[in-house]
Homo-oligomer: A and B are copies of this chain.
Amino acid sequence: MAKAPVLTPQADDFPRWYQDLISKAELADNGPVRGTMVIRPYGYALWERMQQEMDARIKKAGAQNAYFPMFIPQSYLTREAEHVEGFAPELAVVTHGGGKELDEPVVVRPTSETIINEYFSKWVQSHRDLPLLINQWANVVRWELRPRVFLRTTEFLWQEGHTAHATYEDARAYASMIHTDVYGDFMTNVLGIDVVLGRKTAKERFAGAINTLTLESMMGDGKALQMGTSHELGQNFAKAFNTQFLSNGSEREYVWQTSWGSSTRMVGGLIMSHGDDNGLRVPPRLAATQVVVLAIKGDEPVIAKVREIGAALEAAGVRVVVDDRTDTPFGRRAVDWELKGVPLRIEVGPRDLEAGTAMLARRIAGGKEPVSVDALAAIVPGLLEEDQALLLRQSRERRESRTAEVANLDEAVEAAATGWGRMPWADLGPEGERKLAEQGVSVRCIVAEDGSVPATDDQPGNIAIVARAY
């Protein structure tokens, strides 16, 4: 008799599989206020590792971390017309504080362009103060009507970068560098997720931006997920908040700005990119636990051996956990580590001791075979890198095999039923985009003929990538 599956199979019901996995792998719970979430330790460890890797790249890009208040006077939001229009429907409003009704209600930040510009306008005086490159790690609130854990939550965690530059060109180059060297590099080389880098259409742009660069990825069910965005803000917020500098030529000029964000949504992307019917698969470079060494039984020599193997792997630079909780049945622990997606499991029982071997189970590549204990420290780092590469390859192959060239709206909708469609933007245009939207299909981004990020929407040969999206 076949074992009952721990999770609803992906093929049966992908959204249900996603919820099952989040619950069974103890990644998160729903919060008591609708749309909020509790990120449990194992889920939070994924986010912490994302933060570490991203933070290093952000600092390398020259930005410094700071912290701005989460309470923003309602009046700030209204200063940039498109911005308030975009965010007003999603705001949480604090009307009472310290037991009294407030004179002016404050909103909980949905994003921080407004409050940050208020301070940029104080801090920036001369061209010597530019570029001003700031990042913050924070929680933000956008009231969600159709919440889904990690993907769309009323409160989420993110980083938001905000920069001010002396010239249009400098701001543009910086937004692009964040797009490729920070987000693109991190998602490709750490998350092992294939991302398409492109630009958003006018309809999909950030409220207040003159250009939005995006990274789009295909999930396991063929739908798209926006993994991060980098915006050119032009001088829109600078004019609304009077952020000016004294140029070399002693003229007062408005600064040119960028903003860019990535969030706990990436955890959802990780799950839906790499997860399978047995659970999560965590890419080794991200994993807080790359290898777990399990004692099958609680005999003293077994316990001693798993600790010895753990120490040897740690010395080899591997992030390892020793699981010697032998009061819990081995099978239950093995299923749990599989659910949690730890790349390699090394299992040691009494019989292995005699043979000088251990069973090595590979969560990502699959398979299980005995290996010499003495060889472990030498082979494990290489296996982890193989697994890292495999996840990226699988993610890329999925996108390639499930993307169709389409010539008209009907074909676009059909392609979006199982994957993505690629259609010349000149043929689709804003009018076609509007019609697709009626059927729940959106233009995820526009890419150039050669796959690069085009400088404008209208560059000849531009391709629109259309899909259903989370």
Contacts and interface: CB of A to CB of B under 8 A. Distances in A.
Nearest to A93: B96
Contact of A97 (B44, B45, B68, B93): B93
A449 interface: no
Contacts of A106: 33
A134 B41 contact: yes
A37 B71 CA distance: 10
Given A29-B119, A71-B31, A95 B98 contact: no
A155 to B, nearest CB: 6
A94 B97 contact: no
A122 B70 CA distance: 30
Contacts of A31: 68-69, 71, 115
A48 B71 contact: no
A69 B143 contact: no
Contacts of A122: 29
17 contacts: A32-B72, A32-B73, A36-B69, A37-B69, A38-B68, A39-B67, A39-B68, A44-B65, A70-B155, A71-B92, A90-B98, A93-B95, A93-B96, A94-B108, A98-B145, A99-B143, A128-B327
Given A97-B93, A98-B143, A119 B155 contact: no
A121 interface: no
A317 interface: no
Given A99-B88, A139-B139, A67 B45 contact: no
Contacts of A90: 98
Interface in A116-163: 118-119, 122, 128, 134, 138-139, 141, 143-145, 154-155, 157
Chain A contact-residue range equals 35 or more
A64 interface: yes
A89 interface: yes
Contacts of A44: 64-67
A405 B68 CA distance: 44
A14 interface: no
Contact of A73 (B33, B96, B144): B33
Contacts of A105: 96
Interface string A61-95: 00011111111110010000000000011111111
B96 A92 contact: yes
A203 interface: no
A24 interface: no
Given A94-B92, A98-B90, A32 B118 contact: yes
